[in-house]
């Protein structure tokens, strides 16, 4: 059974940092590009970042460039998102996903940026 | 940046057919994916690679593609199909993924 479990969300003040994790099982994690996707309250889905199989290629949506860093540990079958200099408009549910091919998604973790 | 365009809303009566379109310049070259999302829940994949239906998704859900437009068709709509539907596709460089703005399906 494919499982992607996000963790690390929570309440953080503007300007603060959080590190999200995504633990996977039931997939050949090292074979896939992986993405983070987010959804702000009452809004649509937004792709945030992706990373290739060995971590040598990374891409980001413009709004998070220079603040967020995606990484992975293939030995631990895990994906990460380091989020720095957080802003109120980063408030969202963050999903770990492989959104292409035969897609699979986690259930998401809520990040709230508020004073 | 790459954009996918969906109608904001579609309304149908139970038993009728709902069609939701999604337009984007990369769609002739890239597969499209469709997600159903109900309030408070994670998105659920209903169509992948333009026309493929994941296991467990009812046969009334189907996808098609023509040029720069892909279409999600729900035949014999049921009340439980009321949800937001999002299309998604990679851009032509395969460096990012784009989502449409979402279509709210209302079952009258």
Band the pLDDT of A30: cuts 50, 70, 90. very high
Checking if the pLDDT of B94 tops 90, the result is no
Give Rg (Cα) of chain A.
Answer: 13
Euclidean distance between CA atoms A90 and B84, whole angstroms: 22
Which candidate from B33, B54, B102 shows the least CB-CB separation from A44?
A: B102
Stretch B63-90: mean pLDDT = 97
**Distance from B17 to chain A by nearest Cα, in Å?**
24
Which candidate from B35, B42, B90 shows the least CB-CB separation from A100?
A: B90
Interface check for A62 against chain B (CB to CB < 8 A): the answer is: yes
The count of residues in chain B is 108
Look at residue A39 and give its three-state secondary structure.
Answer: strand
Stretch A28-53: mean pLDDT = 97
Provide the pLDDT for residue A96: 97
Place of tokens 């300007």: A15
Nearest CA in chain B to A104: B45
Look at residue A46 and give its three-state secondary structure.
Answer: strand
Chain segment B1-23, per-residue pLDDT in tens: 889 999 999 999 999 999 999 99
* Run of H or E residues at B99: strand B97-99
Stretch B93-106: mean pLDDT = 94
Provide the pLDDT for residue B92: 85
B100 CB neighbours in chain A (<8 A) are: 44
Chain segment B48-57, per-residue pLDDT in tens: 999 999 999 9
B49 CB neighbours in chain A (<8 A) are: 101
Nearest CA in chain A to B8: A44
Euclidean distance between CA atoms A13 and A27, whole angstroms: 35
Test B96 with A50 for CB contact under 8 angstroms. yes
**Average pLDDT of chain A to the nearest whole number:** 97
Checking if the pLDDT of A2 tops 90, the result is yes
Q: Give the DSSP letter string of B58-86.
A: -TTEEEEEETTEEEEEESS--GGG-EEEE
Checking if the pLDDT of A74 tops 90, the result is yes
Provide the pLDDT for residue A102: 86
Band the pLDDT of A106: cuts 50, 70, 90. very high
**Distance from A74 to chain B by nearest Cα, in Å?**
20
Interface check for A9 against chain B (CB to CB < 8 A): the answer is: no
**Distance from A5 to chain B by nearest Cα, in Å?**
12
- Beta-carbon count within 10 A of A98 CB: 21
Which candidate from A50, A59, A105 shows the least CB-CB separation from B42?
A: A105
Place of tokens 């937001």: B84
Stretch A37-56: mean pLDDT = 97
For residues B92 and A66, the model is more confident at: A66
Stretch A74-86: mean pLDDT = 98
Stretch B99-108: mean pLDDT = 97
Provide the pLDDT for residue A101: 86
CA dist list (Å): B66 to A72, B19, B31, B43, B46: 37, 14, 11, 25, 19
Interface check for B99 against chain A (CB to CB < 8 A): the answer is: yes
Chain segment B23-67, per-residue pLDDT in tens: 999 999 999 999 999 999 999 999 999 999 999 999 999 999 999
């Amino acid at each position: 059974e494919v499982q992607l479990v996000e963790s690390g969300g929570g309440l953080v003040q503007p300007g603060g940092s959080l590190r999200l994790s995504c633990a996977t099982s039931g997939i050949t994690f090292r074979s896939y590009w992986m993405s983070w996707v987010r959804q702000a309250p009452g809004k649509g889905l937004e792709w945030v970042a992706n990373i290739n199989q060995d971590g040598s290629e990374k891409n980001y949506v413009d709004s998070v460039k220079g603040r967020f860093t995606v990484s992975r540990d293939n030995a631990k079958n895990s994906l990460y998102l380091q989020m720095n200099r957080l802003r109120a408009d980063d408030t969202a549910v963050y999903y770990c996903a492989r959104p292409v091919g035969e897609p699979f998604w986690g259930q998401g973790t809520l990040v709230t940026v508020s004073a | 940046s790459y954009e996918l365009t969906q109608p904001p809303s579609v309304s149908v009566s139970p038993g009728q057919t709902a069609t939701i379109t999604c337009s984007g310049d990369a769609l002739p070259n890239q597969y499209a994916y469709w997600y159903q999302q109900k309030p408070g829940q994670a998105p659920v994949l209903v169509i992948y690679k333009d026309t493929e239906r994941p296991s467990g998704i009812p046969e009334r859900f189907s996808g098609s593609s023509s040029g720069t437009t892909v279409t999600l068709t729900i035949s014999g709509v049921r009340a439980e199909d009321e949800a937001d539907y999002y299309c998604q596709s990679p851009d032509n460089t395969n460096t990012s993924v784009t989502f449409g703005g979402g279509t709210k399906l209302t079952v009258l």
